[in-house]
Amino acid sequence: MTADRVLVVGLGSPDRGDDAVGAAVAERLAAMDLDHVDVVTREDPTQLVQLWAGHGAALVIDAVMSGNAPGRLHIREVGDAGEPLPTHAFTAAGRGGSHAFGLAGAVELARTLGTLPTHVTVVGVEAKTFDFGPMSPEIQEALDAAVATAAAELIALKEEVTPCV
């Protein structure tokens, strides 16, 4: 059972421009080697439903496209009592074509199946492009702020699930 652990998931495709930001942030969090934290990267958000099962809390980092300035950070609490994510911003980012669903769909499916952790925080990084190639300069410039924000959210989640010592 992993109820006293926080699962960190960096979502995104490493070759789809700014979609790589989720994995890039997660890899930097993994390098911090924090207790009670499991870090994974995934391209497909449908895998979250199984990954979340049994975890007390989760932090998901993903690229979003909502029309705001590239690099802007969006923080959403979507745990078992949280609000749904806006599907227009948290889309599949082109992965899997029209048959795929994105993070918003995975959250609601997990909520329905009862596998959504009690505490789930999503750090969305506003993307500029999901075209093939490297991350845009705007997202590369925002990477340090995204890591710092995700780390602060992770520490808060750890306090929710780890036993007092």
CATH number of the domain residue 16 falls in: 3.40.50.1450
* 101 domain residue, yes or no: yes
C-alpha 12/C-alpha 63 separation (Å) is: 7
> Based on the structure, what is the number of domains in the chain?
1
pLDDT-derived band at 164 (thresholds 50, 70, 90) equals low
Q: How far apart are CA 25 and CA 30, in angstroms?
A: 9
The CA–CA distances, whole Å, from 5 to 23, 27, 29, 37, 43 equal 19, 17, 15, 6, 22
Within a domain: 25: yes
Q: Tell me the residue range of the domain where 114 lies.
A: 6-161
Measured CA to CA, the distance from residue 16 to residue 136 in angstroms comes to 10
55 falls within a domain: yes
Condensed to tens digits (0 to 9), the pLDDT of residues 28-56 reads 999 998 888 999 999 988 889 889 888 88
Residue 91, in any domain of the structure? yes
**Packing angle of the helix pair 21-30, 137-161 (nearest 10 deg):** 50
Q: Please answer whether residues 22 and 131 qualify as being in contact, where contact means their C-beta atoms are separated by less than 8 angstroms.
A: no
Task: Give the DSSP H/E element, type plus range, for residue 143.
Answer: helix 137-161
pTM over 0.75: yes
54 located within any domain: yes
Domain assignment present for residue 1? The answer is no
CA-based nearest residue to 18, from 58, 65, 50: 65
Helix-then-strand count for the chain, H and E: 4, 5
pLDDT for 94? 46
Please state the separation of Cα 128 from the chain's center in Å: 17
Give pLDDT, residue 98: 37
- Burial class from Cβ neighbours inside 10 Å (0-12, 13-18, 19+) for residue 88 reads exposed
Name the residue with higher pLDDT: 82 or 144: 144
